[in-house]
């Protein structure tokens, strides 16, 4: 998938009524499915910004009904949250409001995810595919996305259904490797809390039950990771040791009831902040 050029979105700001505004006092309103000026432009830069938005909307290969597939994806976990359709107005509204907005084919109207449930999807970026006929809203959900209360709308595994006679709906979310591992670790923690262990516990359960063992393993694996650099070991060795560090750290996070999504949220918020500033803010928070 090729990401479209979306630099024009960086210059957008919101008015109190959710309209699109640009530096210099230009405000855009929607009229007959097109964006038009609501006040005079003050510079050539404003004209250029408006032109970029219109050019972007024109570049989408809308189908014969004026629609394109619109997919919402979690900016931190990468999870596909839902799929809908967007028309020109829906995409323009998403750009201006930063809330994932779609076009309802059954109601023939725009709808913003969360307008009823308050589980909005806050959009951080938008991408078009290489053919410009599919859209991704990359954002952070305020709560469950699916109307069933599930975190995403994708929770039925086709392969599980084919391999097992009965598969409970919602039994497994579509997850990447990292989040499948996290799910397993949290499942082991739940088993310890709700069932009596018979026989030899798994390694994960041993770590969950013994904090001293867990912390010693994290320190040990972190040291071995550093040695791959100091001893000039190959990439495969470094990847293997990093896998060990990550796994043991995730067990610790499970004990602290911290999800990887929480960690990635912290990292994302640091993108625009220097390391020195970030460390300084930690001291202020503690005091």
Residue 84: what are its φ and ψ, rounded to 5°?
A: -145, -160
Which pLDDT belongs to residue 283? 59
Q: Measured between alpha carbons, how far is residue 284 from residues 155, 263, 269, 274 in Å?
A: 42, 20, 17, 16
Residue spans per domain, the chain:
1-143, 177-270
CATH 3.40.50.300 fits 1-143, yes or no: no
| Sequence-ordered list of residues with C-beta below 8 angstroms from that of 115, at least 6 positions apart, any chain | none
Cβ proximity of 158 and 175 under 8 Å: no
Which pLDDT belongs to residue 157? 82
CATH 1.20.1260.10 fits 177-270, yes or no: no
- Per-residue confidence of the chain (287 residues) as pLDDT tens digits? 433 333 333 334 433 333 444 444 444 444 444 444 344 445 666 666 667 888 999 999 999 999 999 999 999 889 999 999 999 999 999 999 999 999 999 999 999 999 999 999 999 999 999 999 999 999 999 999 999 999 899 988 888 778 876 655 556 777 788 988 999 999 999 999 887 767 788 999 999 999 999 999 999 999 999 999 999 999 999 999 999 999 999 999 999 999 999 999 999 989 877 666 666 666 566 55
Strand locations in the chain, DSSP E?
13-14, 20-22, 26-31, 34-37, 68-74, 80-86, 101-104, 109-112, 121-128, 134-141
pTM over 0.85: no
């Amino acid at each position: 998938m090729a990401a479209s050029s979306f630099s024009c979105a960086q210059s957008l700001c919101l008015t109190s009524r959710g309209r699109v505004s640009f530096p210099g006092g230009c405000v855009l309103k929607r009229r007959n499915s097109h964006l038009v000026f609501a006040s005079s432009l003050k510079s050539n830069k404003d004209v250029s910004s408006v032109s970029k938005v219109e050019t972007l909307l024109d570049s989408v290969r809308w189908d014969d009904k004026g629609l394109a597939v619109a997919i919402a994806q979690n900016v931190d976990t990468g999870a596909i949250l839902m799929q809908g359709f967007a028309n020109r107005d829906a995409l323009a509204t998403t750009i201006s409001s930063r809330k994932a907005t779609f076009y309802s084919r059954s109601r023939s109207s725009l709808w913003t995810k969360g307008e009823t449930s308050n589980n909005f999807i806050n959009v951080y970026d938008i991408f078009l595919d290489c053919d410009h006929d599919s859209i991704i809203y990359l954002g952070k959900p305020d709560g469950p996305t699916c109307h069933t209360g599930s975190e995403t709308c994708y929770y039925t595994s086709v392969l599980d259904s084919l391999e097992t006679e009965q598969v409970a709906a919602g039994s497994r979310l579509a997850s990447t490797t990292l989040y499948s591992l996290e799910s397993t670790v949290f499942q082991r923690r739940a088993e310890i809390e709700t069932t009596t262990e018979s026989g030899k516990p798994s390694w994960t359960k041993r770590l969950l039950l013994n904090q001293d063992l867990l912390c010693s393993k994290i320190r040990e694996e972190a040291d071995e990771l550093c040695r791959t650099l100091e001893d000039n070991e190959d990439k495969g060795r470094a990847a293997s040791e990093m896998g060990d560090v990550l796994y043991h750290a995730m067990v610790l996070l499970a004990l602290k009831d911290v999800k990887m999504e929480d960690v990635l949220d912290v990292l994302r918020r640091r993108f625009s902040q220097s390391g020195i500033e970030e460390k300084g803010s930690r001291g202020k928070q503690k005091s």
